[in-house]
Structure 1
Amino acid sequence: MQAGPDAPLGPVNAALVPRYAGAATYARLPRLDEVGHADIALLGIPFDTGVSYRPGARFGPAAIREASRLLRPYHPALDTSPFAAVQVADAGDLAVNPFDIAEALATIETQVGELIADGTVPVCMGGDHTIALPLLRAMHRAHGPMAVLHFDAHLDTWDSYFGADYTHGTPFRRASEEGLLDLDALSHVGTRGPLYAAEDLSEDARLGFGIVTSSDVGRRGVDAVAASLTERIGDRPLYLSIDIDVLDPAHAPGTGTPEAGGLTSRELLELLRALDGVNLVGADVVEVAPAYDHADITAVAASHVLYDLVTLIARRLGRAR
């Protein structure tokens, strides 16, 4: 759909082509090669070689795209039509080596760096959480040290696993060690469950992270938590990384390392909407593993989370113009 010659090319018109028909791009948006340049690009990274428990997140991007067919072009909660405000496109999937983690990380870093060189804002679909490290490396080159909001059941700041330094449990430790992060503006949100030792928390704090547990969200409420997060972030360039297991398994069963006691999908969406106005320059949603999903519950949740991320970025770009 296109309102005029200078307007963004938007999704396929559902009144002309049923939602279950046609190409399965995210939200039935145009492909990046159909528009040439996009203000926001949805990029799939089907890589899950870094997982420590259930594999299968390599199939996450395809499942999210399929679940996104039902999304509509107007976001009433944020009073925005994101696909009409800016050009949004589906950039397809990166082809990364499934057998060599180091090569895969290098490929992701290089190709995402090329994607954002002209100012395109990346919103990535994983894949496992290992991909956050090369994404942050590419974002750091473009924006300098990044503020990070990390929505996850887990800290992902462990040192190694079976002697491996690059896994889905280590990306934020490596990112902190590499100087990619603004240590005054880092927060985990939604963490819960047992740890290996109390030292996990002290090590995490040493790396610069603050913690808002899922219980904190329940006790303090969405508005209070969002206010504290936005105050911590300020106007710094923000990268938002969302492991879908931040949701309770009732809301996201299709993931690799589920933990009881998580956020509801409503709480997560309301937290994101309350961040309206922050300088969001990139994001990812990871760890959707459709083989463990039921009735596409997890993929539907992820598709809506991505829609809110795109809307927040579209509003920021609109204000800047």
Structure 2
Amino acid sequence: MTSAAQQPDEPRAPGAGRPRGPVDSSRVPRYAGPATFARLPRLDEVGTADVAVVGVPFDTGVSYRPGARFGGNAIREASRLLRPYNPAQDASPFALAQVADAGDIAANPFNIDEAVETIQAAADDLLDTGARLMTLGGDHTIALPLLRSVARKHGPVALLHFDAHLDTWDTYFGAEYTHGTPFRRAFEEGLLDTSALSHVGTRGPLYGKKDLDDDEKMGFGIVTSADVMRRGVDEVAQQLRDRIGDRPLYVSIDIDVLDPAHAPGTGTPEAGGLTSRELLEILRGLAGCRMVSADVVEVAPAYDHAEITSVAASHTAYELTTLMSRGIAGSRAG
């Protein structure tokens, strides 16, 4: 029964016609129907999209608690509560651009190398349609193939990385592809604009000072969670905008950037993190940046309670989607 939802339209080119939005929650209860992101149409219902929300249920690269393979669907379930108007950004993202749920990229859970290749190929296909990607992880390993795809399209990109951890380590147990190594590999492969790299929310113990020295040599600037607390979100957002400039921007968000009080459902929690309010406000402060794709990763619902982490992740993805939709609408108007 689809009478309360918008009916499927003819396939559309990105930017063509009026976007098809989410199911009307005043006519269909939020708990009814398929759990697409924000109750949006599936990609096969609209043909193509300006922003494709895609899941990557893969967590073979984790070094501690597994379970992020279930993160994407947990975020989708929590996103049933999202509404079509974003007052914080004064925008209706699903009216400004066609946003659609592209389903999941199925990657081999027993072979990381093959999984990385599969994710990259699927991301290439989606980006080639003209879409930007809003990816729901999965563990942070997936950021590497996503960055390969984005850099293939845009060249080296600015990177804004929200995380408790640096994720620029070399190997774990001799493995080069893990959730703690994606940004070292991305640096080595020339995927990043080294003049515009930032970590935000880092904290906690390291293996040694060399971790910071290596990270600095790659070009990363660091805004710790303590910096956010002391300086405030407006100053931090301004610093990040200044560093990014008008470069194409990829935003990667490990949900463990949030304090465990705000995101208990994750694999490697660290005390002293951002609040969900701080994260959302920093993201809103990026309005005007040229965001080309983004991800939200490391949601592990088995350790969540009352869907605290999934709710935070769904709102994070919503703010990122709004920023991309605003950027798309602005580029068309200009």
Mean CA deviation greater in 203-212 or 259-268 = 203-212
Measured after TM superposition, the shift of residue 192 of structure 1 is 0.1
CA contact (8 A) 1:2 1:8 kept: no
| Aligned match of 2:106 | 95
Question: What are the Cα deviations for residues 169-219 of structure 1, in whole angstroms up to 9, with x where unaligned?
Answer: 000000001100000000000000000001100000011111000000001
| Aligned match of 1:63 | 74
| Aligned match of 2:193 | 182
SS of the residue corresponding to residue 212 of structure 1 reads: strand
Match of 1:234 among 229, 241, 245: 245
SS of the residue corresponding to residue 187 of structure 1 reads: strand
Q: Distance in 1 between matches of 2:189 and 2:273?
A: 30
Superposed counterparts of 1:88-237, under 5 Å: 88-237=99-248
CA contact (8 A) 2:6 2:23 kept: no
Measured after TM superposition, the shift of residue 284 of structure 1 is 0.2
| Aligned match of 1:48 | 59
Q: Distance in 2 between matches of 1:227 and 1:24?
A: 36
Identity rate, percent: 71
Question: What are the Cα deviations for residues 55-92 of structure 1, in whole angstroms up to 9, with x where unaligned?
Answer: 00000011000000010000001110001111000000
Measured after TM superposition, the shift of residue 2 of structure 1 is 5.3
Q: Distance in 2 between matches of 1:122 and 1:301?
A: 19
TM-score w.r.t. length of structure 1: 0.99
SS of the residue corresponding to residue 184 of structure 1 reads: strand
Q: Distance in 2 between matches of 1:220 and 1:71?
A: 30
| Aligned match of 2:46 | 35
Q: Distance in 2 between matches of 1:245 and 1:219?
A: 20
SS of the residue corresponding to residue 288 of structure 1 reads: coil
SS of the residue corresponding to residue 196 of structure 2 reads: strand
| Aligned match of 1:254 | 265
| Aligned match of 2:254 | 243
| Aligned match of 1:313 | 324
Match of 1:14 among 22, 25, 28: 25
Measured after TM superposition, the shift of residue 118 of structure 1 is 2.2
Measured after TM superposition, the shift of residue 15 of structure 1 is 1.2
Q: Distance in 2 between matches of 1:78 and 1:140?
A: 28
Residue identity matched to 2:227? D
SS of the residue corresponding to residue 193 of structure 2 reads: strand
RMSD of aligned alpha carbons: 1.2
SS of the residue corresponding to residue 102 of structure 1 reads: helix
Q: Distance in 2 between matches of 1:284 and 1:33?
A: 21
Residue identity matched to 1:63? A
Would you say 1:26 and 2:29 are equivalent positions? no
Measured after TM superposition, the shift of residue 160 of structure 1 is 0.5
Q: Distance in 1 between matches of 2:170 and 2:132?
A: 30
Moved over 3 A (4+): none
| Aligned match of 1:294 | 305
Q: Distance in 1 between matches of 2:116 and 2:70?
A: 18
TM-score w.r.t. length of structure 2: 0.95
Residue identity matched to 1:307? Y
| Aligned match of 2:14 | none
Measured after TM superposition, the shift of residue 16 of structure 1 is 1.1
SS of the residue corresponding to residue 43 of structure 1 reads: strand
Q: Distance in 2 between matches of 1:226 and 1:119?
A: 28
Q: Distance in 2 between matches of 1:271 and 1:7?
A: 30
Measured after TM superposition, the shift of residue 22 of structure 1 is 0.4
| Aligned match of 1:303 | 314
Residue identity matched to 1:277? G
